[in-house]
């Protein structure tokens, strides 16, 4: 019999954003094919995660994705949904709110984050501030880059786990980085991003460094952190057309507030109209405009108005399940109106 380590990973019930939780099950098997059918349901104490009362604390973990874990021997990561004891989706389970989940919808998340030590971004002096922004974005060299070793370790673990990471780069704030995670289907894309976040936390633990997802890690004249969300469906990619893209963009205008409500807490500190953002109380879109709410990439217009859109409003701490569900709802509304 072989012993396989299964790390069950789920989201807790904390508000306004959930935290990652995990625990390990050891499975005794003759052979393990890493399929969901081989992974049993499990339970946990929901009273310790703000998902149940102490007098009736059991919540269920339903495996929804399995990934190789190159950081441990004979190990896999298991992404889970949280269910009530009767098998229905828990109120904190926003993955279950994604009704439309086929590969028609593609999502690319640009996940920004900041490494923090002793309450300050990695590389910031103990007193005062480093030189102003300018030399940190996509830079190289001591003094301009901090945390590269962690970023590289994280990238390798993600790739070995089978995550579709499409790139990494240092960001505008010293100590701030970004990785891009792509997926076909809203649930799969969001699952992968949560696993990538989990791995990032785990690698940073080994270096005694905190990963900060706050949308404005440093107040003042410093860039915030976002989770720019690129999205498309088959009609946008294959049929296209200027009218289609502008109709979709306009459909976001009347529900701007509803989007902001699920795009991450404290986002008003980031969406100020400065530092490549639109003000949180305004909606706009434009071609190649990083100061807009939604950017129409220049590649779209050059490709006969076919491709994708970038929603620049989601904060770095946003739950991708909620972001994807809300975007799909708005796009479907636009297509129904234009049909």
pLDDT given at position 249: 97
pLDDT given at position 102: 72
Can you give the pTM of this predicted structure?
0.97
pLDDT given at position 55: 86
Question: Which DSSP string corresponds to 154-187?
Answer: HHHHHHHTT--EEEEEE-SSTTEEEEEEEEESHH
pLDDT given at position 339: 56
pLDDT given at position 99: 78
- For residues 312 and 260, the answer to whether their CB atoms sit within 8 Å is no
User: What span, in angstroms and rounded, lies between the C-alpha atoms of 309 and 248?
Assistant: 9
pLDDT given at position 100: 67
For residue 51, the 8-state DSSP code is S
Show me where the domains of the chain are located.
2-97, 106-338
**Could you tell me which of 288, 292, 267 has the C-alpha nearest to residue 278?**
292
Helix H or strand E encompassing 111 = strand 106-117
User: What span, in angstroms and rounded, lies between the C-alpha atoms of 14 and 32?
Assistant: 34
- Contact partners, residue 316, CB within 8 Å, separation at least 6: 111, 112, 113, 213, 214, 215, 224, 225, 226, 227, 264
Q: Using alpha carbons only, how large is the chain's radius of gyration in Å?
A: 21
pLDDT given at position 103: 81
CATH class (in words) of the domain with range 106-338? alpha beta
Q: Beta partners for 169? A: 178
2-97: CATH topology is Ubiquitin-like (UB roll) (3.10.20)
User: What span, in angstroms and rounded, lies between the C-alpha atoms of 244 and 223?
Assistant: 32
pLDDT given at position 337: 65
User: What span, in angstroms and rounded, lies between the C-alpha atoms of 264 and 108?
Assistant: 17
Given a cut of 70, the residues of the chain with pLDDT beneath it are: 100-101, 336-339
């Amino acid at each position: 019999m072989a012993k396989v380590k299964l790390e069950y990973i789920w989201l807790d019930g904390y508000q306004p954003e959930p935290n990652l939780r995990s625990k390990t099950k050891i499975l005794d098997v003759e052979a393990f094919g890493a399929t969901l059918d081989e992974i049993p349901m499990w339970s946990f104490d929901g009273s310790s995660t703000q998902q149940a009362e102490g007098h009736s604390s059991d919540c269920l973990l339903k495996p929804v994705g399995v990934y190789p874990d190159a950081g441990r021997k004979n190990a896999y990561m298991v992404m889970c949904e949280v269910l009530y004891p009767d098998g229905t989706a828990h109120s904190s389970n926003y993955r279950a709110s994604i009704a439309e989940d086929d590969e028609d919808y593609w999502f690319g998340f640009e996940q920004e984050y900041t490494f923090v030590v002793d309450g300050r971004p990695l590389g910031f002096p103990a007193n005062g501030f480093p030189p102003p922004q300018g030399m940190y974005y996509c830079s190289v060299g001591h003094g301009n880059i901090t945390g590269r070793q962690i970023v590289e370790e994280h990238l390798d673990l993600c790739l070995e786990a089978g995550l579709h990471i499409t790139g990494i780069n240092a960001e505008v704030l010293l100590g701030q980085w970004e990785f891009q995670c792509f997926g076909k289907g809203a649930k799969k894309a969001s699952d992968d991003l949560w696993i990538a976040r989990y791995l990032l936390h785990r690698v940073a633990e080994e270096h005694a460094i905190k990963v900060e997802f706050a949308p404005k890690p440093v107040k003042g004249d410093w860039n915030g952190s976002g989770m720019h969300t690129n999205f498309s469906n088959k009609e946008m990619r294959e049929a296209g057309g200027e009218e289609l893209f502008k109709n979709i963009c306009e459909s976001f205008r009347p529900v701007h507030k509803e989007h902001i409500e699920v795009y991450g807490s404290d986002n008003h500190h980031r969406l100020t109209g400065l530092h490549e953002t639109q003000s949180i109380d305004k909606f706009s879109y434009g071609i190649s405009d990083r100061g807009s709410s939604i950017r129409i990439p220049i590649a779209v217009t050059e490709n006969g108005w076919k491709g994708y859109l970038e929603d620049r409003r989601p904060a770095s701490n946003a739950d991708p399940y909620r972001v994807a569900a809300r975007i799909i709802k708005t796009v479907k509304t636009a297509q129904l109106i234009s049909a």
